[in-house]
Amino acid sequence: MDFFISLFSDPIGFWSSHSLLIGQIGINGIIATSMFLVLYSGQLSLAAPGFMAIGAYTTVLMSNHWHTPGVLNTVVAALLAGVLGLLVGLPVLRLRGVFLAIATIGFIEALRLGVILNVPFTGEGLGLSNTTGADPLGGINIILLSLIAVVFVIWRLTKGRLGNAWAAIRQDELAALSQGIHVARYKMIAFVMSALIAGYAGALESRLLFNIDPGDAQYGVTRAVQVLTFAVLGGSGFVLGPVVGALIVTLLPYIFGGAGPYINIVAGIFLIAVIIFRPQGIVGRGGLAIVRPSWWPRARVSAPSTE
C-alpha cells in the first residue's frame, strides 16, 4: 500500500524512484496496443515477442557495431520488424483462431531457440551487452510519448475506414468478403502494423536493459501469453483496454505486495476472478457492473472475439 500512498503524497519522488517500473509499464502498453490491433481485426496472433526480439537485437547490434544514434537504430529496427511481419504474414494469415496462435508460437520459438541461440553474432545464449545503447532514465519520456502517440494513431484508425473493415472482418469474415472488403489485404495491414509496433516496443525496451538475452520471459511463449493476458484482461474492444490490462498486470506485484512470496497465487486468483466476472474485459461494455442483480435486464455479453 505504501506504493500507492507515495504516488499521491510525493508524486515527484515516486516518479524518480520508480522510473524503471513506469518505463516497463509504457513498453507493455505499447506491446498491448500491438496485440489489440491483431485481435481487433479478428486474428489471434501471438507473434509480438518475436518481433520485439527482432527490434531489440537490431537496435543493440547497430549501436554496438556501427555506433549509430539511437533514433536511427529504433527506426531501422521497427521497419525491419515490419518487413519480417510481411514475410511471416504471407503464409500464416491463411490460418484462423487457435491455429494462427499455434503457428505464431512456432514462429517465435523457432526464432528464439533456432536462430538467436545458434547464430554467433547474437551472442547465443549469453545475449548481448548493451552498455552503449542503454539509457534507462532518459528513455522514459520517449517511451511514454510513444505510448500516447501509438494509442492515439490506432484509436483514430479504428474510427476510420480501416477500422470499420477490421471490425467487419472480426465479426464475420465471410460476410465482410461478400460486401467487397478485401479481407486478406486488411488482415495483412493489421498484422504488419502490429509487427511494426512490436518491433518498435522491442527497440525501446532494449534501452532499459543493459543486457539482452533470449529468455523465455523476454521473447518466448511466456511473454506471448502475458501480452495476450493484457489484451483479454483489459478488454479488446477498445484501444485503451489492453493498455489498462498492461498497467494492471505489470502492477500486480505492487497491488498485492502484502502477499509476499505468495504473490503469484494471489495474482492467479485475481486473474481468474476478473475473467469470470468480466469476460468482456475491464474496459468494455456493461459499465462498471461486476455482478448484476438478478432483476436487472440481462444483455448477452458481446465482446469482440476472434471467433
Partner 1 sequence: MGQQILNAIFIGSIYALFAVGYTLVFGVLDILNLAHSAVFMLGAAVTYSLVVNYEQSFWVACIGGILASALMGLVIEHVCLRPLRRRHAPPIAALISPIGLALVIVAAVEQGKPGSLAGWLWKDGANSVAFPPGAIPNPTWHVGDITLEASKVAIIPIAIALMLLLGYVIRYTQVGRGLRAVAENARAARLMGLDVDRMISLTLVISSALGGLAGILFGVALSDISPYIGRDAVEVRGLAIIVLGGMGSVAGAVLGGYLLAMIELLAFVAAGSSARNGIAFAALFLMLVLRPQGLFGTRLRERI
Contacting residues toward partner 1, per CB under 8 A: 39, 44, 91-92, 94-99, 101-103, 105-107, 109-110, 112-115, 117-118, 124-125, 221-222, 225, 228-229, 232-233, 236, 261-265, 267-272, 275-276, 279-280, 300-301, 303-307
| Nearer to partner 1 (CB atom), residue 92 or residue 239 | 92
Residues 6 or more apart whose Cβ sits within 8 Å of residue 195:
34, 47, 51, 81, 82, 84, 85, 86, 88, 89
Question: Which residue spans within 115-259 are E strands per DSSP?
Answer: 128-129, 211-212
| Nearer to partner 1 (CB atom), residue 48 or residue 105 | 105
Query: DSSP assignment of 23-67, as one string?
Result: HHHHHHHHHHHHHHHHHHTT-----HHHHHHHHHHHHHHHHHHT-
| Nearer to partner 1 (CB atom), residue 101 or residue 243 | 101
Beta bridge partners, 211, equal 129
| Nearer to partner 1 (CB atom), residue 82 or residue 220 | 220
Q: Which three cell numbers stand for residue 188?
A: 495483412
| Nearer to partner 1 (CB atom), residue 4 or residue 262 | 262
In the bound complex, what is the minimum distance in angstroms from residue 220's beta carbon to partner 1?
A: 9
Beta bridge partners, 128, equal 212
Q: Burial of 213 by CB count in 10 Å (0-12 exposed, 13-18 middle, 19+ buried)?
A: middle
| Nearer to partner 1 (CB atom), residue 97 or residue 136 | 97
In the bound complex, what is the minimum distance in angstroms from residue 229's beta carbon to partner 1?
A: 6
| Nearer to partner 1 (CB atom), residue 62 or residue 192 | 192
In the bound complex, what is the minimum distance in angstroms from residue 120's beta carbon to partner 1?
A: 12
Instruction: Determine the number of helices (DSSP H) and then strands (DSSP E) in the chain.
Output: 14, 2
In the bound complex, what is the minimum distance in angstroms from residue 107's beta carbon to partner 1?
A: 5
Write the single-letter amino acid at 216. D
Residue 285, number of CB atoms within 10 A of its CB = 14
In the bound complex, what is the minimum distance in angstroms from residue 283's beta carbon to partner 1?
A: 14
Q: Which three cell numbers stand for residue 249?
A: 498486470
In the bound complex, what is the minimum distance in angstroms from residue 247's beta carbon to partner 1?
A: 17
In the bound complex, what is the minimum distance in angstroms from residue 185's beta carbon to partner 1?
A: 19
**Using CA atoms, how far apart are residues 238 and 261, in angstroms rounded to an integer?**
34
Nearest residue to 200 via CA among 39, 91, 3, 37: 37
| Nearer to partner 1 (CB atom), residue 133 or residue 242 | 242
In the bound complex, what is the minimum distance in angstroms from residue 61's beta carbon to partner 1?
A: 20
